[in-house]
Amino acid sequence: MSTSSGAPFSNIGVPGAYEYFPLNSPDIGTVREGNEQIPLLFKPLTIKGIEFKNRIFVSPMCQYSADNGHATDWHFVHLGGFATRGVGAICIEATAVVPEGRISPEDLGLWTDSQIAPLKKIVEFSHAQGTKIGIQLAHAGRKASVHAPWVRDRTGRGRFDTAPEEAGGWPNAVFGPSDIPFADSYPAPKALTERGLLDIENAFVASIERCKEIGFDFVEIHGAHGYLLHSFVSPLSNNRTDIWGGQSLENRLRFFLRIIKRVREAWAGKPLFVRISAADWAEGPEKDDNGVWKQWGIEQSTILVGKLRELGIDLLDCSSGGNWVKQKFTLVPGYQVPYAEVLKKAYPNQLVGAVGLITEPNQAEEILQKNQADVVFLGRELLRDPHWAMKAAKDLNVKVKTANQYERAWPSLL
């Protein structure tokens, strides 16, 4: 054995990395040779020529830790830790394409070139560990300018949600499809004008150009959780009377689809994911007996996904809720998976990601085996256990590559 320099038995470094990192070969989280049966969870998936080594994806999770939209060392440590622990892909948290599109004053952004460098370092580190990484581009819409959740918890959630100007907020510059606030404690939004809509479209495209420079493997567009795109498609939050809303489903879908069309054109040839909320979780039916749409639900989501497919999206990240402050649902393991399953059955050739209280390896494997989804996105469970992929390999009795530096912790996987 030798390194590229010819020295025998050396601790070989990653070729071309910006500093020395021991080379892990094969990539961390890759199934080792000699396994008789490989669980679907650890089978590679190729999208647009990019191979994801397994199907354990890190959900975008807001950290409320950015400095004027810039990633900090918190993000580097937080995301870098996943890159070294065997996941198939990392999706960086909701990242605003304009300053007023942030959820909180401490959210990530990608509206200016100075925000490129700290993200690029995270991407280069992730690639040096053999892990694919992408970013979720977003606009918070009417749910913008609110405090980080722990600030709200301390002051009384529901009473002081809005972040005022003295706390870095912009409550007088919050925009949505209509002037309907998410809740009484949230800012009162202004209805977007035609000029405002076009400015946001252009901002998404400008952020895509920065994504190219950063080197992301994929981009996800956030169309869920009551943020701007979701609020446009739901009749609960969109009562416009022009071509962008109202009772007409075609009108309510128009802005969402225009954003995706522009993004798909700009992000040509690389994987494009879209996250949607499949339902509002409001009381009553999705449509009444007279055919009037009352809230957003799976019937309209199925239509939307068909149109997204026509525009060339590669993976649908299926979530739910977030647009109705009085939403009601029961938190049980995999509570959102049925929506993913419906959409997968409607479009068998569409790659679908499942989310929502997926915590156990056998549960994740069963979702894939039942063809309810093609990948699983994990959030809070990975916060609790960043080594979840290694735990999954052990539970599913498959030997995978651990980081050289962590091998002593996982002797059963060697």
Give pLDDT tens digits for 383-404. 999 999 999 999 999 999 999 9
Q: Which helix (H) or strand (E) holds 46?
A: strand 45-47
- Cβ atoms of residues 20 and 125 within 8 Å: no
- What are the CA-CA distances from residue 287 to residues 30, 244, 402 (Å)? 46, 20, 50
Residue 3 has pLDDT above 60, yes or no: no
Residue 235 to residue 408: CA distance in whole angstroms: 55
Residue 34 has pLDDT above 90, yes or no: no
Residue 84 to residue 76: CA distance in whole angstroms: 12
The first and second tokens of residue 169, run together, are 């907020």
Tell me the mean pLDDT in the region 220-232.
Answer: 98
Secondary structure E strands in 128-202: 132-138, 175-176, 190-191
Residue 319 to residue 227: CA distance in whole angstroms: 13
pLDDT tens by residue, 81-131: 999 999 999 999 999 999 999 999 999 999 999 999 999 999 999 999 999
40-413: in CATH 3.30.360.10 = no
- The pLDDT of residue 1 is 35
**227 annotated active-site:** yes
Catalytic residue among 18, 227, 335, 406: 227
Sign of CA dihedral 335, 387, 61, 300: negative
User: What's the half-sphere exposure (Cβ side, CA atoms, 13 Å) at 29?
Assistant: 30
Burial 339-375 (b: 16+ CB within 10 A, else e): bbbbbbebeeebbbbbbbbbebbeebbebbeeebbbb
Tell me the mean pLDDT in the region 166-185.
Answer: 97
Tell me the mean pLDDT in the region 71-88.
Answer: 98
Q: DSSP 3-state assignment of 265?
A: helix
Residue 240 to residue 198: CA distance in whole angstroms: 17
| Alpha carbon 7 to chain centroid, angstroms | 43
Residue 6 has pLDDT above 60, yes or no: no
Tell me the mean pLDDT in the region 283-303.
Answer: 96
- The pLDDT of residue 330 is 84
pLDDT tens by residue, 316-374: 999 999 999 999 888 899 999 999 999 999 999 999 999 999 999 999 999 999 999 99
The model's pTM is 0.96
CB atoms within 10 A of CB 213: 12
Residue 2 has pLDDT above 60, yes or no: no
Residue 410 has pLDDT above 70, yes or no: yes
Tell me the mean pLDDT in the region 186-214.
Answer: 98
- What are the CA-CA distances from residue 359 to residues 313, 335, 353 (Å)? 27, 12, 15
DSSP class of 108: E
Percent of the chain scoring above 90 in pLDDT: 92
DSSP class of 69: T
Burial of 205: CB neighbours in 10 Å, binned 0-12, 13-18, 19+:
middle
Residue 253 has pLDDT above 80, yes or no: yes
Longest CA pairwise span in the chain (Å): 78
- Cβ atoms of residues 100 and 187 within 8 Å: no
The first and second tokens of residue 178, run together, are 């209509």
Tell me the mean pLDDT in the region 302-307.
Answer: 98
Residue 274 has pLDDT above 70, yes or no: yes
Residue that has been written with the tokens 């009473």 in this structure? 159
Residue 225 has pLDDT above 60, yes or no: yes
| Alpha carbon 361 to chain centroid, angstroms | 21
pLDDT band with cut points at 50, 70 and 90 for residue 153: confident
pLDDT band with cut points at 50, 70 and 90 for residue 5: low
Tell me the mean pLDDT in the region 246-254.
Answer: 96
Residue 311 to residue 318: CA distance in whole angstroms: 17
- Cβ atoms of residues 256 and 229 within 8 Å: yes
DSSP class of 400: B
Kindly list the domain boundaries of the chain, sorted by start residue. Answer: 40-413
Residue 234 has pLDDT above 50, yes or no: yes
